[in-house]
Amino acid sequence: MKAIVIETTGGPEQLSYRDVPDPEPEDGQVVVAIAAAGLNFIDTYHRSGLYPMDFPLIPGLEGAGSVIAVGNGVDGIAEGDTVAWAQSMGSYAEKKAIAADSVVSVPDSVDAKVAAAALLQGLTAHYLATDTFPLQPGDRCLIHAGAGGVGLLLTQIAVMRGAHVITTVGSDDKVSLSRDAGASEVINYNDRDFQKAIEDLFGPHAIDVVFDGVGGATFDKGLDVLRPRGMMVTFGNSSGPVPPVAPLTLTQKGSIFLTRPTMAHYLRTKEEASSRAADLFGWITDGKLDVRICDEFVLEDAANAHRALEGRQTTGKVVLIP
């Protein structure tokens, strides 16, 4: 089969399209013919070395497809079932062996490509809005990169929960996308300083929670817009990592809370993952959650997909098609 392989850290040129052996299911595993793999910023961190990995590596944590083989000891999954996953390395490939406990069932009402596009970013948005900071009606939340994959989904979920959503984006086109997702105020950070814009709208220290997937470029000013005992949720590093923060800084900013969540701690059991996924797929089926696939690249063109993502040329989700 064909797959993308990384031999060493570096730029997108390290993504090599080559032949690798076909997978066989071990006990407790299934083999999936991959319909689509989701592209996520964490993939670029694995490639660049920001998050250290063992090499050689087939990257990609997210995908969906049809089960073509079932190993011993697997119950509840049969050949022909459509499944998806969000935390299993090796998804930039035509086929993948994966632990049955790591997949969730995809209902017939959801296309496999949509499932691949929705799961990792959708589960992230789900736990951020329901558990990390359980949004309540009237809460003011600031979402950075509001026209990105997580941003568009998180905005819609936050609106469903009754929150007042403010977003930041980087272009006028992205302003429209973010508004369409339900944001009440959208700030183009290339035109206006987002801290000043928020203070002009609501006054100082008026935000209940900041959801920041951008990192270094937005973190400090995000702290300054929070109300006393508000929460900074930093969950990504698309502009670079956040520098170390002294605990006393949190006191000086209003006894604010700071958390750096990761998905693994919010999907600790099969039941929790399945419950969150069922919410997502239910919202998609009911038309309450729109999953925007902005670009599709063939698997062989994964390097250009990475370049587009890192160059901020994407809105919504990018998928790779084997």
| Residue-wise pLDDT tens digits, 237-258 | 888 889 899 999 999 999 999 9
pLDDT at 312: 76
Is 126 domain-assigned?
Answer: no
| Average pLDDT estimate for 2-24 | 97
Is 317 domain-assigned?
Answer: yes
For residue 151, give the DSSP letter: H
pLDDT reading at 316 higher than 80: no
The answer to whether residues 69 and 173 belong to one domain is: no
Give, rounded to a whole angstrom, the gap between the first and last alpha carbons of the chain.
10
CATH code (residue 105) = 3.90.180.10
Q: How many domains does the chain have?
A: 2
The answer to whether residues 217 and 186 belong to one domain is: yes
Per-residue pLDDT reduced to its tens digit, 79-90: 999 999 999 999
- The percentage of residues in the chain with a pLDDT greater than 90, rounded to a whole number, is 89
Is 128 domain-assigned?
Answer: no
Per-residue pLDDT reduced to its tens digit, 295-312: 999 999 999 999 998 887
The answer to whether residues 108 and 151 belong to one domain is: no
For residue 3, give the DSSP letter: E
173: how many CB neighbours lie within 10 A of its CB? 12
The answer to whether residues 240 and 197 belong to one domain is: yes
Per-residue pLDDT reduced to its tens digit, 141-156: 999 999 988 999 999 9
The answer to whether residues 142 and 98 belong to one domain is: no
The answer to whether residues 274 and 238 belong to one domain is: no
The answer to whether residues 208 and 279 belong to one domain is: no
Is 171 domain-assigned?
Answer: yes
Is 247 domain-assigned?
Answer: yes
Domain boundary pick from 229, 260, 291: 260
| Average pLDDT estimate for 98-117 | 96
The answer to whether residues 142 and 240 belong to one domain is: yes
Q: Which domain holds residue 77?
A: 2-119+270-321
**One-letter identity of residue 193:** D
| Average pLDDT estimate for 46-68 | 96
User: Among 90-99, 139-148, 230-239, whose mean pLDDT is lowest?
Assistant: 230-239
Is 129 domain-assigned?
Answer: no
Per-residue pLDDT reduced to its tens digit, 264-280: 999 999 899 999 999 99
Domain boundary pick from 260, 292, 311: 260
The answer to whether residues 91 and 162 belong to one domain is: no
Signed CA dihedral, 233, 235, 238, 242: sign only: positive
Is 265 domain-assigned?
Answer: no
Domain boundary pick from 211, 237, 260: 260
Coil, strand or helix at 98: strand
This prediction has a pTM of: 0.90
- The percentage of residues in the chain with a pLDDT greater than 70, rounded to a whole number, is 100
Tell me the average pLDDT of the chain: 95
The answer to whether residues 245 and 282 belong to one domain is: no
Per-residue pLDDT reduced to its tens digit, 189-217: 989 999 999 999 999 999 999 999 998 88
CATH code (residue 174) = 3.40.50.720
What's the residue count for the chain? 322
Among 196, 190, 165, 191, CA closest to 179: 165
